[in-house]
Amino acid sequence: MAGFGENPTERRFYHHKSKFLLRSLPVSSIWHALELFLVYCIFQLPNTGNTPLKIRKCLKRSLQELNLDYVDLYLIHFPAGLKCDDDTTTPLTLNAAPLELDLTTNLEAVWKEMEVQVEAGCTKSIGVANFTEKQIRRIVKIANILPANIQIEMHAHFQQVVLRKLCDEHNITIVAYAPCKFQVILCWKFKTYGH
């Protein structure tokens, strides 16, 4: 039996829960759980960390907070970053909408720094989320280490045929989010009709 757990490091929602969970379990319980499940730890680079200078800082902070030496997979969460203060990873408009995209994000430079994290032993593999076919081609063109995984929206009504073919050509595994689109539709219907 194997289990799959993802820990997106979007600090506002998930990070503190994971930290509490890992630190609150007795060691014997953790080892018992490891006997039952294959634990695979995935982190996502926060959108405010999409610059080469912030990648290591974001990853190290996440590793320290969760008391880990490395993660199995580190993902670039989104191809464009969010603008933030130079010395932090807090968005400039955290409490106001809309957040401001940093359209100067250099995907190639970000990817090269992600490769450095693999070489440093902070992560075993690297990947992307929410990237298009064109963006994947840009990464593949300059990569010494190809993306191990891509997380994308994929379901019966949005099959991503061209992107799936490209990933197959380069042995990039795919994880679909929202594979059961009906859940989103049901939520929309309930909100629309007041059920």
Any idea what the CATH number is for the domain that residue 172 is in?
3.20.20.100
The reported pTM is 0.71
Q: Block means of pLDDT (10 residues each) for the chain, length 195 residues?
A: 38 40 49 48 82 91 87 91 65 57 90 97 95 96 97 83 95 85 47 41
Q: What is the pLDDT of residue 8?
A: 44
Helix %, strand %, coil % of the chain (to 5): 45, 20, 40
Evaluate whether residue 168 is within a structural domain.
yes
Cβ neighbors of 113 (< 8 A, separation 6 or more) are 52, 55, 56
pLDDT in tens, 21-47: 455 444 544 444 444 444 567 778 888
Q: How many other C-beta atoms can be found within 10 angstroms of the C-beta atom of residue 55?
A: 23
Residues 107 and 141 sit within 8 Å (Cβ to Cβ): no
Q: What is the pLDDT of residue 132?
A: 94
Q: Tokens at residue 124, please?
A: 């075993």
| Structural domains of the chain, count | 1
Evaluate whether residue 4 is within a structural domain.
no
Q: What is the pLDDT of residue 35?
A: 44
Cβ neighbors of 70 (< 8 A, separation 6 or more) are 63, 121, 122, 123, 124
Q: What is the pLDDT of residue 181?
A: 62
Alpha carbon distance 33, 50 (integer Å): 34
Residues 176 and 155 sit within 8 Å (Cβ to Cβ): yes
Name the CA dihedral angle for 31, 16, 187, 185, rounded to a multiple of 10 degrees.
-70
Q: How many other C-beta atoms can be found within 10 angstroms of the C-beta atom of residue 154?
A: 20
Show the domain range for 99.
11-193
Residues 79 and 140 sit within 8 Å (Cβ to Cβ): no
